[in-house]
Structure 1
């Protein structure tokens, strides 16, 4: 698990709950794809 965050600077909450994370990103920044 230590290798994953080291390779990519992504928080654990993103892996645990990617759905809510995407929702927040959509509200904050415009998504590249029409999700």
Structure 2
């Protein structure tokens, strides 16, 4: 069995660029954002 690891990003612009570069979707979790 293989376990996937998640690399959480805090820089939205960098995460958007990486997702576009790798052709992958991006999940934005606003519940973790400071108020």
More contact order relative to length (CA 8 Å, sep ≥ 6)? 2
Common fold: TM-score over 0.5: no
Tell me the TM-score range normalised by the shorter chain: 0.3 to 0.5
If the length of structure 1 is used for normalisation, what is the TM-score? 0.36
Bigger helix fraction: 1
If the length of structure 2 is used for normalisation, what is the TM-score? 0.36
